[in-house]
Amino acid sequence: MSAQKGDQAFRRNDTTLGRWPEMTYAGVLSFLRRNYSRDLAGADLVISGIPFDSAVTNRTGTRLGPQAIRAASVQLAELKAFPWGFDPFETLAAIDWGDVWLDPHHPDTVAPAIEAHADAILGAGARMLSLGGDHSVSLPLLRAHARRHGPLALIQVDAHCDTWEDDGTRLDHGTMFARAVAEGIIDVARSSQVGLRTHNDADPDFLILAAPWIHRNGIDAALAAVRERAGDAPVYLSFDIDGLDPAFAPGTGTPVPGGLASWQALEFLRGLDGLNLTGMDLVEVSPPYDHAEITALAAATLAHDWLCLIARQKARDAG
């Protein structure tokens, strides 16, 4: 019997390609069963959790999001990816770094810790897939990505604009994109907000494709608009799970009816293929409000599909 079976999350000690057989209902959990490692040498992509939810304005629980998303990813690690028809780890060397160490009792240290974590990973030449956590974690991630790539084309999928008035110091998961605009790390002329269904009189000049517009005009029209807007700019995708309708993602802190269906979100994300994708965060999964793990499963599938985009991009670049 081959020794290369089960618990590859800790039994593998390198970033080599491929994967081992696992029982979907057993074993040590990592995202898509990737090995836990802090060794960045040779890694194309690093997955890490950011278990923080002290900036929420309604229900808490998103500090438990990374654990839930990892657990929900087990079936996705079993077969070739759908609809891609390939194993992304045949070409993409990916590790699960684990969770960023944070001290929530000293909140002024949280953003710098996330930023330093991202700087180290990006500095090693890897891309990042970050699992939140509340949406405030996007700001330090954006700062680190902008240092490496310059001003970013933000594609934000969300129920909320997250650009409400900001005093420059508050810790709030609804103001971080206003601050990112003020800091110049987002290129607003290249950026889009998708799925919104809350109003803000002072929203910056993003392209806003509200959820009702998408329901009426369709995913293809939304993709055409977002892709034209982004052009060849470095693209950062920030996906708040409350961009989905609560029927598809009840496990979140600020649910708003009328959002995207799971299939719409997946088709939209898959349609970003070919853009200059630099990083992604997936945030606001709150397991205490989830039912039958459907929110975590949606989040894991979205993150998995973004990873497949990066695998395809690497294969194209090598071809």
Mean pLDDT over each residue of the chain, to the nearest integer: 93
pLDDT at 30: 94
Say how far residue 160 (Cα) sits from the centre of its chain: 16
**CA-to-CA distance for 296 and 70, rounded, in angstroms?**
8
All structural domains of the chain, each given as residue ranges with its CATH number in brackets, are: 8-18+28-318 (3.40.800.10)
Burial level of 314, CB count in 10 A (0-12/13-18/19+)? Answer: middle
Alpha-carbon distance 31 to 309, whole Å? Answer: 16
The rounded distance, in Å, linking the Cα atoms of 59 and 68 is 17
Query: Which residues sit in the known binding site?
Result: 135, 158, 160, 162, 240, 242
Q: Which tens digit of pLDDT belongs to each residue from 91-139?
A: 999 999 999 999 999 999 999 999 999 999 999 999 999 999 999 999 9
Side-by-side strand order, sheet with 127-132: 94-99, 45-50, 127-132, 276-283, 234-240, 153-157, 192-194, 207-209
Percent of the chain with pLDDT over 70: 99
* pTM of this structure: 0.95
For residue 319, what is the DSSP state? -
| pLDDT (tens digit per residue) in 22-34 | 888 888 899 999 9
Please report, in range form, the residues annotated as the binding site for Mn(2+): 135, 158, 160, 162, 240, 242
The SS3 assignment for 266 reads: helix
> Region 158-186: what's the mean pLDDT?
87
Query: What is the pLDDT, as a whole number, of residue 6?
Result: 87
Helices and strands in the chain, H and E counts = 9, 8
DSSP 158-201: -SS-------SS---TTTHHHHHHHHT-B-GGG-EEES--S--T
Please give the single-letter amino acid code of residue 291.
H
Chain-centroid distance, C-alpha 49: 10
How many other C-beta atoms lie within 10 A of the C-beta of residue 1?
4
Measured in residues, the chain has a length of 319
In the structure, what pLDDT confidence band is assigned to residue 15 with cuts at 50, 70 and 90? low
